[in-house]
Amino acid sequence: MTETPLSPLVLKSHSLKPVVQGGMGVGISAHRLAGTVAREGAVGTIASVDLRHLHEDLVEESKHATGTEDYDRLNLIALDREIKQALTLADGNGMVSVNVMKAVDAHAKYVRQACESGAQAITMGAGLPLDLPDMTANHPDVALLPILSESRGIGIVLKRWMKKNRLPDAIVIEHPGHAGGHLGAARKEDVNDARFDFARVLEETFEVFKSLGLEREKVPLIVAGGINSFEKVKHYLGLGASGVQVGTAFAVTTEGDAHDNFKSVLAGAKKEDIVEFMSVAGLPARGVMTPFLKSYLKRESTLQANAKADPARCTQALNCLSVCGLRDGLSKVGQFCIDLKLAAAYRGEVSKGLFFRGSEALPFDSAIRSVKELLDYLTTGLRPADLPQRA
């Protein structure tokens, strides 16, 4: 592994490169990506949501599923397989984490399965993870990383967790103005609010630590969203962060688990192709303006005007989300099946899929390169010799 001049990120007893690979579903970050990132000495992350799509036998069995419990069982089998394969690939290096969305109805089942299958860390966002310590109480060696976006939420989580005699092993601070996928803001209009600026959130969080009697070093802070260069990594570590989280740039690596068409869509997207919209989970989201999304946004107001609560609108009775705009008839949020659209993206179906993406240019522009090359660049500034060198 390439040596880095940056201070390590320390989680539990692991001394790591200060980079966390973000969790990306459906199937974008599974065992191959997460295991490779961990093998290179960083934190690799498996996105837990609906991993059955990655296993032909489970896809076939899904055809006979009759309800939510059947789908949950198949997804838990897939999660177990992916974690064990990632750990084998990591070969004792780095850490393998599992990302679990609080907004997923079966999130507690996924957390339990992840711990039982040997995951070394759990990251949880898309809602305040107030009960994560309770869900992992029997697995004290599993690192816990809540994902939040502003100091107020961080303070709420810390106070609640401290009553349970547990501190986060690190906190991921995700900027809604830059991250891909579901965003930690209530409305599209809020994603660029100044309260989410990393410098401000870091400073305010250190004040929260002080008010709670915590030393700054007690809980490492990891900034996420828009990190696409060694210079940015150095800058935010200089402001007091202990690490960075990167998503889209890992999704387009050669080891990324998704179809090559998926990687081409993300890597080839221009700034004007990246848009914010309301997802079905009741949160703003950021993705690429593909044929599906363009068509959907033209029809969105009509679909929202005709929204109605109807369980039959849920695809195959999957009921993946605690709150779903389509199923629950929520007129101000998305009116499409997110599982179908993300699974189509994973398969590389450009005309049908929903392709989440961060807002910034990628470190290697449209080039598809390896995990090792990306980590080397983010932690040392060393770019592949055959790519244009930046000033």
- Give a yes or no: residue 385 inside a domain: no
SS3 282: coil
Q: Taking every pair of C-alpha atoms in the chain, what is the biggest distance, in angstroms?
A: 57
Could you tell me if 93 and 41 are in contact, meaning their C-beta atoms sit under 8 angstroms apart?
A: yes
Q: What is the helix (H) or strand (E) element at residue 89, kind and residue range? A: helix 68-90
Of 288, 300, 303, the residue nearest 350 (C-alpha): 288
- Give a yes or no: residue 354 inside a domain: no
- Give a yes or no: residue 183 inside a domain: yes
Q: State the Cα–Cα distance between residues 243 and 171, nearest whole angstrom.
A: 10
Residue showing tokens 């089942």? 109
Q: Where are the alpha helices (DSSP H) in 212-359?
A: 230-238, 248-251, 260-268, 291-305, 325-328, 338-346
**Two tokens at 230?**
């060694």
Residue showing tokens 């998503």? 247
Query: Which regions of the chain are under pLDDT 70?
Result: 1, 316, 391
Of 48, 167, 155, the residue nearest 98 (C-alpha): 48
- Give a yes or no: residue 245 inside a domain: yes
Residue showing tokens 């060694």? 230
For the beta carbon of residue 176, count every other beta carbon within 10 angstroms: 26
Q: State the Cα–Cα distance between residues 317 and 310, nearest whole angstrom.
A: 11
Same-domain status, 92 and 200: yes
What is the extent of the structural domain holding 91?
Answer: 9-266+361-380
Same-domain status, 215 and 280: no
- Give a yes or no: residue 30 inside a domain: yes
Number of domains in the chain: 2
Same-domain status, 198 and 118: yes
Residue showing tokens 């009116």? 335
Same-domain status, 326 and 205: no
Same-domain status, 262 and 281: no
Same-domain status, 286 and 329: yes
- Give a yes or no: residue 31 inside a domain: yes
Q: Where are the alpha helices (DSSP H) in 91-229?
A: 107-116, 132-135, 151-163, 198-211
For residue 320, report the phi and psi dihedrals to the nearest 5 degrees.
-75, -30
Give the pLDDT of residue 183: 92
Of 199, 177, 179, 197, the residue nearest 187 (C-alpha): 177
CATH number of the domain within which 176 lies: 3.20.20.70
Residue showing tokens 């690939």? 89
Same-domain status, 256 and 201: yes
Same-domain status, 239 and 282: no
Give the pLDDT of residue 1: 65
- Give a yes or no: residue 50 inside a domain: yes
Q: State the Cα–Cα distance between residues 125 and 60, nearest whole angstrom.
A: 30
Same-domain status, 371 and 333: no
- The amino acid at residue 49 is V
Beta carbons within 8 Å of 351's beta carbon, 6+ residues apart = 290, 291, 292
Same-domain status, 76 and 194: yes
Task: Write the pLDDT tens digit of every residue in 275-298.
Answer: 999 999 888 999 999 999 999 999
- Give a yes or no: residue 292 inside a domain: yes
Instruction: Flag whether the pTM goes above 0.85.
Output: yes
DSSP codes of every residue in 309-329: B-GGGSGGG---BSS-HHHHT
How many residues are recorded in the chain?
391
Query: What DSSP designation does 188 have?
Result: G
Q: Pairing relation of β-strands 121-125 and 95-101?
A: parallel
Residue showing tokens 């690490």? 243
Q: Which CA distances in Å does 48 have to 28, 142, 159?
A: 10, 16, 27
Same-domain status, 177 and 84: yes
Cα Rg of the chain, angstroms: 20
Same-domain status, 286 and 342: yes
SS3 118: coil
